[in-house]
Amino acid sequence: MSHKQTVFADRKMVLRAIKDSFIKLDPRIQVKNPVMLLVYVSAILTTLLSILAIFDIKDSSGGYTLAIAIILWFTVLFANFAEAIAQGRGKAQADALRAAKKDVIAHKIPSLDQRDMICDVASTALKKKDLYIVKAGEQVPADGEVIEGAASVDESAITGESAPVIREAGGDRSAVTGGTTVISDWLIVEVSNEAGESFLDKMIAMVEGASRKKTPNEIALQIFLIALSIIFILVTLSLYMYANFSAKLAGIVNPTSVTTLVALLVCLAPTTIGALLSAIGIAGMSRLNQANVLAMSGRAIEAAGDVDILMLDKTGTITFGNRQASEFIPLQGVSADDLADAAQLSSLADETPEGRSIVVLAKEQFNLRGRSLSDQGMTFIPFTAKTRMSGVDIKGEEIRKGAAETIKAYVQENGGIYPKECDEIVTRIANMGGTPLVVSKKYQVLGVIYLKDIIKHGVSEKFADLRKMGIKTIMITGDNPLTAAAIAAEAGVDDFLAEATPEGKLAMIRDFQRQGHLVAMTGDGTNDAPALAQADVAVAMNSGTQAAKEAGNMVDLDSSPTKLIDIVRIGKQLLMTRGSLTTFSIANDVAKYFAIIPAMFLTIYPELSALNIMHLHNSQSAVLSAIIYNALIIVALIPLALKGVRYREVSAGSLLSRNLLIYGLGGIITPFIFVKLIDMLLVFFHLV
């Protein structure tokens, strides 16, 4: 369903929700929501009273009691519908995931040394630690870690993203998910989960709400609502006793019926938020699912709303992840053309993004075009971890590029001179947050290539918005402190952790938590697992290792590190929606006092007509109007509960003031208007 459509636009989903609304009338389901259980019991009671009234010829209130009973049943059904329509989105997504989950044949092997001894078994027969081989065109039969091979994998069935991804042994891109498809090459995988406990199984259970548990905040609010309901039960009983006592003093029969008392109780109890509370929580998780994030617990979503420390990876989050050549800086006596020419020649075979950017920069600035790897007389020297440099031998001349210390040692070992000027340029680039690559030709240093981290467009504004929200941003990077400081200043983050280690990340998170902060972070590697396990909101990348996904309490299916900012917004929106509708629900009761209390006591105390400021037609009209409004407001608020209150990047104080004005004052004024309109309609159609 498109996010631009209303929640009622999907006819199939609405019909399923209506069916589920009746199924949820089961007492075993109703008892899970104590506030609505009160309405449920009231509906049963008034139904019985209406049946008795029908058989009692002397009782003329049968029609009134039956009307109250019908309205109360609709109130319960509307509450069930709100929850069912919220669950409908998750069920639709779960159906799509089940379609992707198929039993396939797995090519099981005994060990790496016995890979030719393939035994074909059903994917459901695979157990944890089993090994299987999967080839191009085949579906991955079970979750696991790649222990050998590299392949292109189509994960669109899980993520919705059509572009294939690379999965390979070692590193942080080794996890594969059952239900995805290998497009090229082959993989040997070690199964990481038992049958029925796969990532896809967990995801299906979560998105359809089957594994959703109430969060601490939700439980606390429900306890508060139960306490309010108990208070209103006592108030209602006290009013009845008071009305009975006053009627005896006046020498008249108590005009307050049990039906009216039940209607008063239902109207005064916080039924609106009680009916929508579950839907708000489910919808929050659904919004997260629509953002392609799987929350392993509702607690994590709420924690995201309260986060005040955000720890973000530099690479891929703040920067594009690939350093780009931005300038050729020649030494004195060397022309920029000669430096660019040598730099491009040394990079022709360099397939890294940095190497490609050097070739492109030389083309753009110095029009060096037409060269290719097929040119005669070139011997390319690839980069290795041991030599830490790369280059080309052409016509007896050696051209090399690499880290300053590496080129310095290379030049000096071959009788060349490493000039002090080069050290000064290297230091200056490092202080600016860049990466210097020194270029030499025939053991003579020509100059330096300035590689620069490219800051993503708009991140500075995003961090400014987060600052307004009271969230401190911390950049995590393996760079040296000077480089980290320069990038942090350009990006606009509040702090940074340079030369980050697993121990350093963990220590920083614990330190903030000891100070009372809630910390969110993102990670994808096994080395991130300890910090992810410690963080209050831990977002693991789906492309990352199994250890990272197990340590996190959320998994980003898109593997986009910037998603953490969206998660915080969704969490805050969930808390705001719950708070706003709770305020609206409680504020609603004010108008109901003015509608029902005068109606109850008007016969005994005619002076109470002064409180009938809405000038409702009569006592039955007043009660019916209030209880009809009480039912209809639930349906009216379902779209808001599912969509969520609009979130703005402003301070908590400003948000509170705005929401009190809209939902507090609005909650007081709205029922006065609509209760009066309903009363007028009842009179117009001669229903009272």
For residue range 232-267, what is the model confidence (pLDDT) as tens digits? Answer: 999 889 988 888 888 888 777 777 788 989 998 999
Q: Give the CA-trace dihedral at 599, 601, 607, 609, to 10 degrees.
A: 0
Higher-pLDDT residue of 37 and 299 is 37
Higher-pLDDT residue of 2 and 421 is 421
Cα dihedral 395, 396, 397, 400 sign = positive
For residue range 283-306, what is the model confidence (pLDDT) as tens digits? Answer: 888 888 888 888 876 678 888 888
Same domain, 24 and 118: no
For residue range 362-394, what is the model confidence (pLDDT) as tens digits? Answer: 999 988 876 766 666 788 888 776 677 889 998
Same domain, 75 and 216: yes
Whether 390 has a binding-site annotation, put simply, is yes
Decide which of 389, 414, 449 is a domain's last residue.
449
Same domain, 88 and 225: yes
Whether 524 has a binding-site annotation, put simply, is yes
Determine if the pTM surpasses 0.75: no
| Catalytic residue status for 95 | no
Q: If DSSP states are collapsed to H, E and C, what string results for 257-314?
A: CHHHHHHHHHHHCCHHHHHHHHHHHHHHHHHHHHCCEEECCHHHHHHHHHCCEEEEEC
Domain span at 161: 105-140+143-192
Percent of the chain with pLDDT over 70: 90
Whether 177 has a binding-site annotation, put simply, is no
Give the residue ranges of DSSP H helices in 318-438.
336-347, 353-366, 404-413, 420-431
Is 293 within 8 Å of 652 (Cβ atoms)? no
Say what the pLDDT of residue 210 is: 47
**d(C-alpha 295, C-alpha 86), whole Å:** 16
Whether 199 has a binding-site annotation, put simply, is no
Whether 354 has a binding-site annotation, put simply, is yes
Same domain, 33 and 174: no
Is 267 within 8 Å of 626 (Cβ atoms)? yes
3-state class (DSSP) for residue 501? coil
200 in any annotated domain: no
Residue 168 backbone phi and psi in degrees, to 5: -150, 160
- Percentages helix, strand, coil for the chain (3-state, rounded to 5) are 55, 15, 30
Whether 380 has a binding-site annotation, put simply, is no
Say what the pLDDT of residue 600 is: 74
For residue range 209-230, what is the model confidence (pLDDT) as tens digits? Answer: 545 567 778 888 889 999 999 9
pLDDT band at 7 (very low <50, low <70, confident <90, very high): low
Whether 385 has a binding-site annotation, put simply, is yes
Residues 6+ apart with CB under 8 A from 238: none
Decide which of 192, 226, 253 is a domain's last residue.
192
Choice among 35-44, 235-244, 643-652 with the minimum mean pLDDT: 643-652
Higher-pLDDT residue of 211 and 665 is 665
Number of domains, the chain: 4
Whether 215 has a binding-site annotation, put simply, is no
**d(C-alpha 544, C-alpha 655), whole Å:** 37
Residues 6+ apart with CB under 8 A from 285: 90, 206, 207, 209, 212, 295, 298, 301
Tokens 């989903």, located at residue:
13
Say what the pLDDT of residue 1 is: 38
Whether 13 has a binding-site annotation, put simply, is no
441 in any annotated domain: yes
Same domain, 438 and 521: no
**d(C-alpha 54, C-alpha 61), whole Å:** 9
Active-site choice (313, 341, 453, 536): 313
Q: If DSSP states are collapsed to H, E and C, what string results for 541-591?
A: ECCCCHHHHHHCCEEECCCCCCHHHHHHHHHHHHHHHHHHHHHHHHHHHHH
86 in any annotated domain: yes
Same domain, 313 and 393: no
Closest CA to 557 of 230, 267, 288: 288
**d(C-alpha 573, C-alpha 302), whole Å:** 9
Decide which of 516, 534, 557 is a domain's last residue.
557
Strands 495-497 and 472-476: parallel
- What average pLDDT does this structure show over 16-31? 93
Say what the pLDDT of residue 459 is: 82
Same domain, 344 and 443: yes
At residue 231, does pLDDT exceed 50? yes
Q: Would you state the structure tokens that stand for residue 407, as one six-digit string? A: 């080129």
pLDDT band at 43 (very low <50, low <70, confident <90, very high): very high
- What average pLDDT does this structure show over 308-324? 78
Q: Would you state the structure tokens that stand for residue 344, as one six-digit string? A: 């491009």
User: Beta partners for 105?
Assistant: 122
At residue 3, does pLDDT exceed 60? no
At residue 32, does pLDDT exceed 60? yes
Q: Would you state the structure tokens that stand for residue 345, as one six-digit string? A: 């020649």
**d(C-alpha 200, C-alpha 196), whole Å:** 9
At residue 48, does pLDDT exceed 60? yes
Residues 6+ apart with CB under 8 A from 654: 648
For residue range 53-74, what is the model confidence (pLDDT) as tens digits? Answer: 877 755 667 789 999 999 999 9
Closest CA to 493 of 481, 483, 484, 503: 484
Same domain, 60 and 114: no
2 in any annotated domain: no
Same domain, 514 and 607: no
Is 121 within 8 Å of 105 (Cβ atoms)? yes
- What average pLDDT does this structure show over 556-575? 82
**d(C-alpha 323, C-alpha 450), whole Å:** 9
109 sits in which H/E element: strand 105-109
For residue range 98-147, what is the model confidence (pLDDT) as tens digits? Answer: 666 667 889 999 998 888 899 999 888 889 899 999 998 898 988 888 99
Whether 56 has a binding-site annotation, put simply, is no
Strands 293-295 and 554-556: antiparallel
203 in any annotated domain: no
**d(C-alpha 8, C-alpha 316), whole Å:** 38
For residue range 498-547, what is the model confidence (pLDDT) as tens digits? Answer: 888 888 889 999 999 999 999 999 887 777 888 888 999 998 887 777 77
Same domain, 373 and 352: yes
- What average pLDDT does this structure show over 4-32? 84
Whether 384 has a binding-site annotation, put simply, is yes
Residues 6+ apart with CB under 8 A from 559: 165, 524, 541, 542, 543, 544
**d(C-alpha 98, C-alpha 23), whole Å:** 23
- The number of residues making up the chain comes to 688
Same domain, 84 and 213: yes
Burial class (CB in 10 A: 0-12, 13-18, 19+), 174: buried
Say what the pLDDT of residue 4 is: 46
**d(C-alpha 75, C-alpha 94), whole Å:** 29
199 in any annotated domain: no
471 in any annotated domain: yes
Whether 494 has a binding-site annotation, put simply, is no
Same domain, 443 and 478: no
**d(C-alpha 51, C-alpha 49), whole Å:** 5
Whether 383 has a binding-site annotation, put simply, is yes
Higher-pLDDT residue of 94 and 16 is 16
For residue range 178-192, what is the model confidence (pLDDT) as tens digits? Answer: 888 898 889 999 998
CATH number at residue 503: 3.40.50.1000
75 in any annotated domain: yes
CATH number at residue 160: 2.70.150.10
Helix (DSSP H) and strand (DSSP E) numbers for the chain: 23, 20
Say what the pLDDT of residue 2 is: 40
Percent of the chain with pLDDT over 90: 35
